Amino acid sequence: MAPKVETGQTIVQARSRWVGVGWDALPGLQQDALGQGWRAWIKSCERRATMPPALATLCPQALALANADAASQRAWMLRHLQPYRVESPQGDAQGLLTAYYEPIFEASRTPSANFNAPLYAPPAGLASRKPWYTRKEMDTLPEAKAALKGKTLVYLNDPVDAMVLQIQGSGRIRVQQADGSYRTSRLAFAGTNEQPYKSVGKWLLDQGLTKDATWPGIKAWLARNPQRQQELLWSNPRMVFFREEALSDSDTDAGPRGAQGVALTAGGSIAVDPGSIPYGTPVWMSSSGAQTQLQQLVIAQDTGSAITGAVRADYFAGSGAQAGELAGRLKQPLQMWVLWPK
């Protein structure tokens, strides 16, 4: 039986308020195996200086339970943590869940007819000109092209895939070596042109060109309208720049680093609005919809330009095509409860 808790207490954040509730308010509490969420928690504790002090003090105990069974971990949570329902400042507890992932693409170091979509490292002078050139200007203005000279990291074979990688913020690339073998590395987020992000899916919807603004729907529209691909790409002026990171055998299961500075855990990490929930905070999440049902422990470890508001989360689905299929379609209602030290 869960210990008695004080309910109704309110904690105010910059862009949310938390209202204390009993543990019985959390859907699926007894069913979640806790594994992915706990692994993400341990990762956050590697950088406890980035966590709220009240949570950082619990890291030694969380680490000691890393290999414990779910029942022991759950019992510890009930003893040491208090759940708070996350609401908007106006009291709305319903929000939105989407997902993101780390794509994996074939790439080439040299341009060709098959590989002609460049991905760039940050150009010199990026910090001194804000905002920097738009996506269209980078493709058309001689001065923008000159600034990007020598900054191409790799080429992909599809400009839309290049945009997908930019929107996700990081990805893995497989590049064939001179001996015919392949080497996989990660392209990690290294900056933007400071232009506003514009959804290409919304661009299609606003013009009545499609009713399916998921990535599969966008690609289906492009297959029917290939002559409008450049127009669609230029509708989003934002460009992301990358740095390349080597991947060792021990890194193959680790996700990219989120805004907290720790490697993301597939199925255990979420991106949040840090004005609503601080990095490193354990969160109970409940979301049911056409794509999936999620009632589980997750950790706030990342953010994103589109992740704003009190009850808003982006679920890190992992790497590869299967994760991408979920991330491309997931958009469903969300409730969240912060698990805060008593």
Joined together, the tokens standing for residue 34 give: 């806790």
Strand locations in 51-147 (E) = 81-87, 95-102, 104-107, 117-120
- Identify the residue whose tokens are 């506003």: 196
Q: What is the largest CA-CA distance in the chain?
A: 69
* Those residues with Cβ within 8 angstroms of residue 231's Cβ, 6 or more apart along the chain or in another chain: none
- Identify the residue whose tokens are 């990490």: 269
Q: What is the pLDDT of residue 252?
A: 65
191 neighbors 166 (Cβ within 8 angstroms): no
Strand, helix or coil for residue 41? helix
Q: What is the pLDDT of residue 177?
A: 87
CA 130 and chain centroid, separation? 25
Q: Are strands 282-288 and 182-192 parallel, antiparallel or unpaired?
A: unpaired
Distances (CA, A) of 21 to 8, 10, 291: 6, 10, 28
Strand, helix or coil for residue 221? helix
Q: What is the pLDDT of residue 305?
A: 82
What is the second-level CATH architecture of the domain 10-99+255-341? Beta Barrel (2.40)
What is the identity of the amino acid at 153? L
Spans of the chain, pLDDT less than 50: 1-5
Joined together, the tokens standing for residue 236 give: 């989003």
Instruction: Using CA atoms of 7, 10, 13, 17 in order, give the dihedral in degrees to the nearest 10.
Output: 80
Q: Tally the C-alpha atoms within 13 A of residue 12's C-alpha that lie toward its C-beta.
A: 3
Helix axes 159-168, 215-224, angle to 10 degrees: 160
Q: What is the pLDDT of residue 89?
A: 96
d(CA 304, CA 168): 9
Give the residue from 192, 196, 116, 102 showing the smallest Cα distance to 152.
116
175 neighbors 136 (Cβ within 8 angstroms): no
d(CA 138, CA 147): 9
Phi first, then psi, for residue 329 (nearest 5°) are: -115, -20
Instruction: Using CA atoms of 281, 282, 287, 290 in order, give the dihedral in degrees to the nearest 10.
Output: 90
Residue 211 CB neighbour total at 10 angstroms: 8
This prediction's pTM: 0.82
Strand, helix or coil for residue 100? strand
d(CA 267, CA 279): 17
Q: Are strands 182-192 and 81-87 parallel, antiparallel or unpaired?
A: unpaired
Q: What is the pLDDT of residue 251?
A: 63
Domain residue spans in the chain? 10-99+255-341, 102-251
Tell me which fold the domain 102-251 belongs to.
Ribosomal Protein L25; Chain P (2.40.240)
